[in-house]
Chains A and B, each alone.
Chain A
Amino acid sequence: MKKSSLLFLAGVIIVLALGFLMPWLLRNPFYFFAGYVVLQYVTIATGWNILGGYAGYINFGAAGFFGAGVYLSAFLFTTFGLPLPLCILASGVFGAILGVLMGYLTLRIQGVYFAIATLGLVVVLETIVHNISGLGGASGMAVYGPRPPAWSPGPSQFNFTVMLVIAVASVALARWVEISWIGRGLRAVRASEDAAECSGVPTLRLKLVACALSGAVLAAAGAPYPFYTSFVEPVTAFSLVIGLNAIAMPLIGGTRTWVGPVIGALLLASVQQIATVTISSELNILFVGAVLIAFVAFAPGGISDLFGRNKGRARS
């Protein structure tokens, strides 16, 4: 194994160990309640970046994948009593299928059509959920989550640890994609699709792989959400804020490596968690929207490019 991979593995172990220990060290459950959201966004930003950052295909419908995960997990748990890990897994698989479906229908043409199709995905999924009474329709449904196991002091802490495991797994997946032949192929696709294809890169297949992985992570990010809020409704599950943050966080942090979305999510989600106490959610969206415009317009490489060692890198 390479030195950088060993370092990464060490980091993963430390973070996971902290995640299991922290609930016993910090007594106030609020930290874990807020921390859950931050980790959820780390997962979302990381998942979005597999397709959006590496391959350069913008997905405006992150909330669609997330909401699909939320509802599938809630449905499987309340109807069949499926254990939590299986709910998460099932959501991931469903997200992957949804991603491939979207990709297969639109990616053969041009990136811009994929982006437009994802814009509509949220509306369609929301419409479907609205019309299924078994899922609570527009008024939503209550979900009574699993009792936290003995190794966790309470539900907030337990949800936090579950989300941490998902986030770490997602980051590890993104890093693996990035350093493997898939990542190099995707970056070639991002730079020039024709040149990649003529260099032997199976561009369509790679993009579909990226769609599947990205969709899986985005949907998995939503899987524990019903247990976190104990209640799911279309408005929050398919929230605009999720779609916005999914794009803004990687773009602000930097889209070229796995570090960017993590930095962006930690920064932006923490600011939002602190800010929700003081400002309205509308001002919150206004703030994120303005920051997003500023970064796209003036610093397309994101924070990791502004401060990183690749300072001289041209923007593309």
Chain B
Amino acid sequence: MLSIDILLNAIVTGILLGSVYASLALGLGITFGILHIPNIAHPTLVVAGAFFVYTLAQWGFDPIIAAVIGLVPFYLLGVALYAFYSTVFERKGGANVLQSLTLFFGLSLVIEILLSLGFGSELKSVSVSYIGSSLKLGVLTVPYRLLIPALLAPVTIAAVWLYLSRTNSGTAIRAVAHEERALSIAGLNPASVKRHAFGIATATAVIAGAALIMVGPIEPFAGRYQIGRVFAIVVLAGMGSIPGSLVIAIIIGIAEALVSSYLNPSWSPGVAFAILLLGLALRPQGLFGAAR
């Protein structure tokens, strides 16, 4: 009877959710999409970012301000992670994908446990005045707790994309995976370019973390439910296509919202994964990536 209302609300919720997912996937789009480092710890880093924001929010900071403060420590954390990764693997003449996967898997577990030891395993949330209410537009009801984080994502993505495409150091990052030698000839150190890129990718995790904890309460192991989503987004967008990732993320968000509304919310964790498998089977090179 009210199916149009439900449909409209589901689609709008899906678009907003998708936008949040896109910000979760942004860092992975840099590490995996551009640098080809399969950083499966990224969703856990986002959760760590959420706990960072939670901690500052306890001291009275606004979550978005807290995320901006977090950029520097998370950038440094990323630089340190890459330094560890590269000293372990790249000196042996190129990293083995499977070993690096295992390394990041172990790393994500350690981070999760440390978070759980530090904060306990209960759900944590932030409360801000503007999060509680909803925006009503005709039949649409849009909660601010979803709207604000959803607006955060395109801004972050646009900033990162402008940086990557318009600045010299951004261009160096995009070039480093393919033209390492050319980069050295141009007088840039590929290792430091990658370290910088990894730092930026990790810094985006704290913004995504702020978005995540604003949308809903979070626990230390929440990252694992995001893994399917973020990889689906990066892979299906076509490795390295950051604007494309926003589109794919929104498609996934809408699909999940529709499944939640019409089937049962308990089915939605599987949606992204199903889309990923389908996408891999049908179009392995990604939907927006250059066919190779």
Is residue B106 contacting chain A, with contact meaning CB distance below 8 A?
yes
A214 and B116 CA atoms in complex are apart in Å by: 32
Give bound CA distance, A316 to B94, whole Å.
10
B interface: dominant SS:
helix
Chain A residues lying within 8 Å of B277, measured Cβ to Cβ, are 105-106, 117, 120
**In the complex, chain A residues whose CB is within 8 Å of the CB of B284:** 108-109, 113
Decide yes or no whether B131 CB sits under 8 A from chain A.
Answer: no
Do A115 and B109 form a contact, CB below 8 Å, given A106-B277, A106-B280?
no
Given A111-B98, A293-B106: A282 and B117 interface contact (C-beta under 8 Å): yes
B96 touches A115 (CB 8 A): no
A119-B228, A286-B113 are known contacts. Are A316 and B280 too (CB-CB below 8 A)? no
Q: Are B92 and A315 in contact (CB under 8 A)?
A: yes
Residues in A whose Cβ lies below 8 Å from that of B228 = 119-120, 123-124
Instruction: Judge whether A116 and B40 touch: CB under 8 Å.
Output: yes
Known contacts A113-B280, A124-B270, A282-B113, A251 near B102 by CB under 8 Å: yes
Q: B269 to A105, Cβ gap below 8 A?
A: no
A54: CB under 8 A from chain B? no
| CB under 8 Å from chain B, chain A span 244-279 | 244, 247-248, 251
Q: Are B103 and A296 in contact (CB under 8 A)?
A: yes
A179, CB-defined interface residue at 8 Å: no
Contacts of A58 in B (CB 8 A): 98, 101-102
| Cα-based distance from A136 to B36 in the complex (angstroms) | 41
Nearest Cβ in chain B — how far from A13, in angstroms? 36
- A112 touching B110, Cβ below 8 Å: no
Q: A106-B280, A115-B98, A282-B117 are in contact. Are A60 and B235 (CB under 8 A)?
A: no
For the complex, give the distance between the alpha carbons of A69 and B225 in Å. 22
Q: How far is the CA of A316 from the CA of B264 in the complex (A)?
A: 46
The answer for the CA separation of A115 and B102 in the assembled complex, in Å, is: 10
Residues of B within 8 A of A108 (CB): 284
Q: Is A285 an interface residue (CB 8 A)?
A: yes
Does A300 belong to the interface (CB within 8 Å)?
yes
Query: Which one of B224, B225, B270, B280 lies within 8 Å of A128 (CB-CB)?
Result: B270
19 CB < 8 A contacts A-B: A56-B98, A58-B102, A111-B97, A112-B38, A115-B40, A117-B276, A119-B227, A119-B231, A120-B227, A120-B273, A123-B224, A123-B225, A247-B102, A248-B106, A282-B117, A285-B109, A293-B107, A297-B103, A300-B99
The 5 closest A-B pairs by CB, nearest first: A120-B273, A120-B228, A289-B109, A293-B106, A292-B106
New A-B contacts (7) at CB < 8 Å, excluding given A123-B269, A127-B266: A56-B98, A116-B231, A119-B40, A124-B274, A285-B109, A292-B105, A297-B88
Residues of chain A having any CB pair with chain B under 8 Å: 52, 56-58, 60, 105-106, 108-113, 115-117, 119-121, 123-124, 126-128, 130-131, 240, 244, 247-248, 251, 282-283, 285-286, 288-290, 292-293, 296-298, 300, 315-316
